[in-house]
Chain A
Amino acid sequence: MKRNTFRIALLLVLMVPTVVWALDHDNLDPNRPIAIEDAFVMPHGEIGVEGGVLFNDRKQGKSRFVFQPQLIIGAFANTQLELSSNLSTDPTTVVGDDKSGDLTVGVLYELNTETLNIPAFAVRVGLGFPTGVNSKGVDAELTGVMTRSFGRWRTHLNVGYTFLGSPQGNERSGGYRVVAAVSYPLGYPTSFRDTIIANVFTRQSSSVGQPNPTGIGVGLRHQVSSRIVFDMGLGTEFAGPPDRSLFFSTVGLSVGF
């Protein structure tokens, strides 16, 4: 039964016609397709509309679909504004800082570009407003982002901490998150449409006393046209609490204009 549910879910995820806008498939934005952000912001003046559907097959509890709309604006020089939300099919069971329907506003500021000796650094500040189901208090997040390239390989590191404004029940008052990733443009020197990304992540569990959800993911961003990037990804949380993701997959599109 569970296997059938999984197969149907996977099929649906792969068929959903979602759209994520971005002109540059090599520029990584959070969740498109996996959890990593690079230190490069969207060019000043660009607007990106992104969206994706995540399928989350949990070890314990119902599987979920999560729709992830996101608006990214190159609002100022070296500064990107991000407006995002998550809409889950099983909203009442979500634990932690990112409840279904919460509105998150973030600012990513790029401190510097990469040079021969210095990696690119950026800092992200985010606020999560309690607009979602069972959500209370304003959450705050601070993340440091680093990108360093080696030839065509790029490595990325995100280290962040989220403070919950009003933890409920057994929820933690805050938790750290660490994601490391590599990305590589496929096809050189004849094609420049694809970037593959792989990450490894761990974060403090949402509930007190639970082990860290820890996992890996892999994703692909494909430039469909000048304005559109398609992405897909999958992964697993191989360690963590009983309700961790045994398997997750996502597809999305980004449109830049």
Chain B
Amino acid sequence: MVHKPVLAICSLTLILCTVSALSACAEFEQRDKRFYYRALWNFALREDLKELDIEFNGVDFGHSNLYENLLLTGAKDVPAIEERARKETLRFIDSRPVLNPNEEAIAPTYMKLAWKAQNTFDEAHALHRSTYDIYVSDLADRKAAIRKVLAYYQDSEYAITAKRLDHQRLDTFPYSKSFRRKFPLFNATIWAYHYLQVVVYDVLAASPDLQSKQKAVAPILRTYHGYLDKPPVEWTFMPMTEELSPKFAAEYPEIANIFNNLHMMHDNISDILTTDLFPTWEEKRKEIYRVTQAYYWASADATNPFIVPAGQPHHSGSTPAMEPSAPSGHSGH
């Protein structure tokens, strides 16, 4: 009788000691999940502009499904990515999901490989969602609302820098472009998601009421679905916010930078998961974390070599760009 509580305490102590010992391991990391900024406009997009929200739910599936499949196939099997995984994503989009999918069920391996990078995505995606909700809501002071969600976002250690990064240089790592070269269809599909994610801001802002917003997004969705049916492989760089929603980018340059940086980070991670330069999962994890923490997190702003100094032109322009005839590969950004 007396011994059983002692035994239980000893067992729990042993568990805690084991956990403490494990904490010394490099892989030991915390989850740090944060709730979105709570406000009256939460879920306005889902409730009032369902047709657009459904598309974003499909986008959520696409990224995670890609990473999981790249990881599990070692990026060796082109049909597994270009045909099977891409078409799985298209089927999910076609199912018109009214709720965002559980990404941990889509990509359980990737989530365990690079949780900090995923959490960085999750928080930036939450900022995307908050700004959509605000743009769909009939708010008297939209700017104030945007300021609040931006401040909340930037309060996180996982916040992506709001500085303008040199995306062209971020696309010149030894492994850069490996994903788009090997899997051009899925890459173009991912860029189509990014097109949709940023093109809607100016259109929504220019529409005075819900009905006109619904009308305004209809042609965008047609264009987007055209891209899904026939991926725009002729694009040579990801869509940029300032080109597709220039008013939004001018009004909220920090958020535009965050979204551009987010989308570039997606491209970097796709390349890391594709390249043979990091043959093991552990090496891929290390490089994902190195790039994320040194070049994308706002906490690295003081030392980030990719920040474009104020006043200098940004050379990632004209999106969607067509493949140039020059062999340089870039679109004159």
Contacts and interface: CB of A to CB of B under 8 A. Distances in A.
A142 B12 contact: yes
Interface string B16-39: 100100110101111111111010
Interface residues of B, number: 47
A115 B115 contact: yes
Nearest to A184: B105
B223 interface: no
Given A44-B34, A151-B108, A118 B25 contact: yes
B167 to A, nearest CB: 30
Nearest to A223: B99
Contact of B27 (A111, A115, A123): A115
Contacts of B28: 112, 115, 118
A161 B9 contact: yes
Interface string A70-85: 0000100110000000
Contacts of B73: none
Contacts of B30: 77-78, 110-113
Interface string B42-71: 010010000000000000010001000000
B29 A113 contact: yes
Interface stretch (B88-96, B143-151, B295-303): B88-96
A176 interface: yes
Given A114-B112, A190-B95, A226-B46, A74 B35 contact: yes
Given A111-B19, A115-B27, A226-B43, A144 B12 contact: yes
Contacts of B1: 173, 208
A116 interface: yes
Q: Is the contact region of chain A dominated by helix, strand, or loop, or is it mixed?
A: loop
Interface residues of A, number: 52
B19 A226 contact: no
Contacts of B97: 191-192
A152 B27 CA distance: 20
B91 A189 contact: yes
A28 interface: no
Contacts of B22: 112, 118, 121
A44 B35 contact: yes
Contacts of B105: 26, 152, 185, 188, 192
A149 B35 contact: no
Contacts of A226: 43, 46, 99
Contacts of A190: 91-92, 95
Contacts of B101: 192
A83 to B, nearest CB: 18
Contacts of B31: 40-41, 78, 110, 112-113, 120
A173 B8 CA distance: 13
Contact of B92 (A114, A121, A144, A189): A189
Given A44-B35, A113-B31, A144 B16 contact: yes
A171 interface: no
A4 interface: no
B40 to A, nearest CB: 11
A163 interface: yes
A75 to B, nearest CB: 11
B99 A112 contact: no
A123 B38 CA distance: 28
B173 to A, nearest CB: 23
Contacts of B115: 113-115
25 contacts: A26-B102, A41-B31, A44-B32, A45-B35, A45-B36, A74-B35, A112-B23, A113-B30, A115-B28, A115-B112, A116-B112, A116-B285, A117-B25, A120-B31, A142-B12, A151-B108, A159-B12, A175-B4, A185-B105, A188-B105, A189-B92, A190-B92, A191-B95, A192-B105, A226-B46
Q: Which 9 A-B pairs have the closest CB atoms?
A: A45-B35, A161-B8, A113-B31, A185-B105, A46-B35, A43-B33, A192-B101, A115-B27, A43-B35
Interface of B: 1, 4-5, 8-9, 11-12, 15-16, 19, 22-23, 25, 27-36, 38, 43, 46, 61, 65, 88, 91-92, 95, 97, 99, 101-102, 104-106, 108-109, 111-113, 115, 281, 285
Given A111-B30, A159-B12, 12 more contacts: A40-B33, A45-B35, A77-B30, A110-B30, A114-B112, A115-B115, A118-B25, A144-B11, A159-B15, A176-B4, A190-B92, A226-B99
